[in-house]
Amino acid sequence: MKPAIDRNVELFERASRVIPGGVNSPVRAFKAVGGTPRFVTRAQGAYFWDANGQRYTDYIGSWGPMILGHGHPAVVEAVRKALLEGFSFGAPTEREIELAEEILKHVPSMEMVRLVSSGTEAAMSAIRLARGATGRNKIIKFEGCYHGHADALLVKAGSGLATFGNPTSAGVPPEVVQHTLVLEFNHIAQLEEAFALHGKDVACLMIEPIAGNMNFVRASVAFMQRARELCTQYGALLVFDEVMTGMRVALGSAQSVYAKSIPSFEPDMTVMGKVIGGGMPLAAFGGKRAVMEHLAPMGSVYQAGTLSGNPVATACGLATLREISRPGFYEALGTKTRALVSGLQGAADAAGVPFCGDSEGGMFGFFLMPTLPQNYATVMTTDNQRFNTFFHGMLERGVYFAPALYEAGFMSAAHTEADIKHTVEAAAKVFRLLA
């Protein structure tokens, strides 16, 4: 039963008077799916409650960081203790070293790491470092991969093969993205042609190994292997954007998944965020020592941040990493995620609704189409209206998936078999409405 006064509507109207669009990050506005965003009042475990007191099973987990679920006791205690010691110092702390060491222990491709406050900041800084270390200007990215809202990365593909990008946001001058080359995800021939044309000028190739911003789309092993070979051949740096996948799909991150199939595989640099901060504003970028030593104060590539390595954020991140490092954690998490995706598949099949899904570790995605897409253009052929109906149908039944067709989903250790069963049963009812 809906409340007499919908507090979500009330709050959204109030927010819209003082915050552009009523939200502080666009996808929260429900613009893609329609309706009123849910204003969260609290969260615990696998759930959050909105301003009306309605409980939802949460499959976004703050867009990935809450791998342990909300309010894990060990993390809460670590944050509480850190708060009592001080919010921010603007000076180094031992905990920054401990967190850096913990990250490097699990991601051996990185020999040094720099902590920052957001994924956008980390990706932007990695691009600058790649250019400074190589003395080159051009960068390669892929359509459908999102690396934050830095100007040089807010681009879409040009009209022809291997053409340079055009700004996708007002306020980004064309000359800022003139060195950004945008290619089709999983298109090996196009990648080879791009390097043949521009390889000697390419500073880096940046890629989400498992894209999470066109829902969930894997880079094929063959595509990733060829990217590694071409970067090595032409002296460009291979940069993995693991803001979303880092320690989310595996303890060693997505690069460890590809290393199982590609001998001696590793990127030159890695961008991380979300899980390593445990829900606090924290991100990082790292790589080989020879590259990282180009950063100030050692080298000439400048990067700085007042709140970088914030003592409360590092406490939260460190406590999270220690919990997820326990034996069997990812095996259990992956089992839950696969159970959810296979359950949704079964419910869709029973209703005769086209559906396909995929997952790795605690990250998943699904599409209302018969086969998994391999690139952004195919993702864009999905029936948006049908997804929007599915989203709201699930929302009405207390299940919160991402309010956009193009976002991945996230499982946490706090989700139970009962949560998954409820989700699949709710989906079965919604799928019958879509049939």
For the annotated catalytic residues, the residue numbers are: 146, 241, 274
Alpha carbon separation from 39 to 14, 36, 262, 435 (Å, rounded): 12, 9, 44, 31
Considering only CA atoms, which of 163, 171, 172 is closest in space to residue 138? 163
Interacting residues of 377 by C-beta distance below 8 A, sequence separation 6+: 143, 184
Number of H-type helices and E-type strands within the chain: 13, 18
Q: Name the 3-class secondary structure at 308.
A: coil
* CA 325 to mean position of chain CA atoms: 20
Q: Which residues contact 263 (CB under 8 A, 6 or more apart)?
A: none
Tokens (6 digits) for 376:
């952004």
The whole-angstrom separation of Cα 353 and Cα 357 is 13
Q: Considering only the C-alpha atoms of the chain, give the largest distance between any 2 of them, rounded to a whole number of Å.
A: 66
Mind giving me the DSSP string for 204-247? EEEE-SEESSSSSEEPPHHHHHHHHHHHHHHTPEEEEEETTTTT
Tokens of 23: 């939200």
Map residue 422 onto helix, strand or coil.
helix
Shortest CA distance to 112 belongs to which of 334, 295, 309?
A: 295
Helices (H), 58-207: 73-85, 94-106, 119-134, 188-198
Nearest to 309, CA basis, from 103, 68, 24, 69: 103
Asked if 56 contacts 41 with a C-beta cutoff of 8 angstroms, the reply is no
**Contacts of residue 352, Cβ cutoff 8 Å, sequence gap at least 6:** 435
Phi and psi for 47 in degrees, rounded to 5?
-130, 155
Relative to beta strand 237-242, strand 269-272 is parallel
Say how many C-beta atoms besides its own lie within 10 A of residue 89's C-beta: 11
